[in-house]
Structure 1
Amino acid sequence: MAPKRSKRAFRYLSLMALAVGLLVSGCGQQYVLLHPAGPVAASELGLIYISGAAMLFMVLLVWVLFAIVIVRFRDKPGNKAPYRPLWDHNRKLELFWLALSFIIVIIISVPTVQKTYALDKIPSGTDPIVIDVTSLDYKWLFEYPQQHIATVNYIDIPSGVPVLFELTADSPMNTFWVPQLGGMEYTMPGEVLPLWLEASHPGVYWGRSGQFSGTGFVHMTFNVKAVPMAQFQQWVQNVRQTASPMTLADYHQLLQHNWISPRSYSSYPASTFPNTTHGFTLEGGMYMQMKNMYMNMPSN
């Protein structure tokens, strides 16, 4: 029996090691979420570490207590553990678990709230690059209102400069996500939601749709190329001079349910992006608007 048990235990340990290896290696791909390339992603990675450490502590504690119970209360000759068939509860243990759970929640929630509010505003004294993002079926349209150019399924941005993404959708609701630069944000028809990200250094960063929105959503991937400001301005001039303008007919073709290769436009119609944001801003405009509305409502 001993050799069989040893083989079974070795098999279980091998499977666990394989699972951990796949998680760490990403099945041969770089785990980009753990390699932040900007201040927003670096701040959010700290929250992932805090939450992971807290949850790992709880898991290990449960397994240690589980092992103690197995050894202490195992039905075997000579076991001196007390036999209490009418045991119901232990008030001290219940208070301990309640207090420990409360402490874990505090450890996770306090830094999460602090960093969420800190990241709600673009750093003061900076002039961000604005990119209007529209999720389509099944592609991404990026419009640069300051440069008056547009791209499909790829973005160029200057490194070391905040980028304000204004997000909407002309298709089912979707999610815009560049893992190495920061967390994801929704795109919704008829609404404009803000998200600011920044690439600390030049590089090419992988982006994609983070939400199922149809059979072709798997193709909704794009690259974010961060370059020095001078190279970014040169790229803008090159697009203006070499790319063709986007017409309304071109935009209606983009609305079709298909996937297309990356492309550029030297200009685009103003009507392709919503004019109003319904109060959503990076300074909490929507919150203040709703607060004032409720404060002015007559009481019953």
Structure 2
Amino acid sequence: MKKHVGRLVLLIGVAAVAETAAAQSSVTLFGALDIALSYQTHVNPSGKSQMGLQQGNEGFLTGSRFGLKGNENLGGGWKAGFMLENGFLANNGKLDQQGQLFGRQAFVKLGHERYGEIALGRQYTTGNTMLYYVDPLGVGAAPTNSWQVYLVGQRYDNAFSYTGVLGPWQLIAEYAAGGIAGDHSARSSASFGLRYKSDKLTAVGSMQQTHDSQSRRARIVLGGWRSPSSALPYLPTTSIAIVMPGSTLPPVAPTSLRSPAWHRARPARRSASTRYSTSAAATNFSPWALTTA
């Protein structure tokens, strides 16, 4: 009888542990749909106007997407997770990001609440992440918004990143491998970003060196800040990008690195360069998420 009771208690204990572990895990299905009717004047040097459902083949405020993200509590402060995020064009149903199935993000991560987190896969660039912290639109999809992202690229394949937080400071270091046999610098990118955040001020900085397939390099420095108007009314949101001396590559992310921001931005930047370009749009932005635990 005692043996049976002991087995029953053991089974109940195992079941309780399994239930607790399951409650600490989650998978979220999420998405956003943004489509706008827009009208823009002087879209080319001849001064012609254009009407369409998208702007730069994107949504007006952000890109449409759906994805899956998961998190697992491993105990002892450790956690693991993944992100698979697809981008698509709501006006025609096609895949965005050069036709990649999960072109927005696709990575796995492992981290500790004290030591930081590492991630491997297709990820946002450090420069893009830093600008997101200070941009009022969070690096929106409008072609004239956050032009600095065009210099560093928005996402890189084959990326390894480390993110650490210490008090008000956040550090991100990222390296994207080029994948060229015999030449480790070709199509590679290395970057370093730092953010300071308090109730009154968010300040960011980023340094990046990128190589194209011929190992020509571009060195870009980004910086910016953002402050609530009630805290520091004379310090508005500001960001700047500088192409450093020694760069032998034009100050854009190489197309061989599959940077969707540059692929989409080239015609948009030319259009936005005219002084008299104006635009108006009516948009519907609908984010959603469904989490299972």
Do they superpose with TM above 0.5? no
Which has a greater percent of helix? 1
- Looking at CA atoms only, which structure, 1 or 2, has the larger radius of gyration? 1
Q: TM-score, normalised by structure 2?
A: 0.27
Which has a greater percent of strand? 2
Q: TM-score, normalised by structure 1?
A: 0.26
